[in-house]
Amino acid sequence: MGAKMTFAGSDGYTVYNPSIPFIFRGNRYIFGRVEKLELWADSKVYLFVEENGIWNRCLRFGELKIEDPFIAFIKGEIILGGVVVEKINREIKNYYCNFYRGSDLFDLQLFARGPDSMKDIRLAELRDGRIAVFSRPRSEELREKYGSEAMMGFTVIEKIEQLNPEIIEKARLIEGVFGKDEWGGPNQLYALDSGYIGIIGHQSYMDTASGYDRSIYVNTAYVFCPERFSVIDARILATRACFPKGGTKTRGTDDVAFTSGVVRNGKGVILYSGLNDCEAGYVEIEDPFKKYGGVKPFEIYG
Say what the pLDDT of residue 11 is. 87
Average pLDDT over residues 9-16: 95
Q: Which of 78, 63, 76 is nearest to 33 (CA)?
A: 63
Say what the pLDDT of residue 211 is. 87
* pTM, entire model: 0.97
Structural domains in the chain, CATH included, are: 3-301 (2.115.10.20)
Condensed to tens digits (0 to 9), the pLDDT of residues 112-159 reads 999 999 999 999 999 999 999 999 999 999 999 999 999 999 999 999
Percent of the residues in the chain that have a pLDDT greater than 70, as a whole number: 98
Average pLDDT over residues 66-83: 97
Say what the pLDDT of residue 224 is. 98
Q: Round to whole Å and give the CA distance between 44 and 36.
A: 10
Q: Round to whole Å and give the CA distance between 199 and 129.
A: 18
Average pLDDT over residues 99-106: 97
Q: Give the pLDDT band of residue 209 (cuts 50, 70, 90).
A: confident
Q: Which of 5, 14, 7 is nearest to 57 (CA)?
A: 7
Condensed to tens digits (0 to 9), the pLDDT of residues 20-47 reads 999 999 999 999 999 999 998 999 999 9
Cβ contact 220:238 at 8 Å? no
Average pLDDT over residues 96-110: 97
Bigger pLDDT: 302 or 123?
Answer: 123
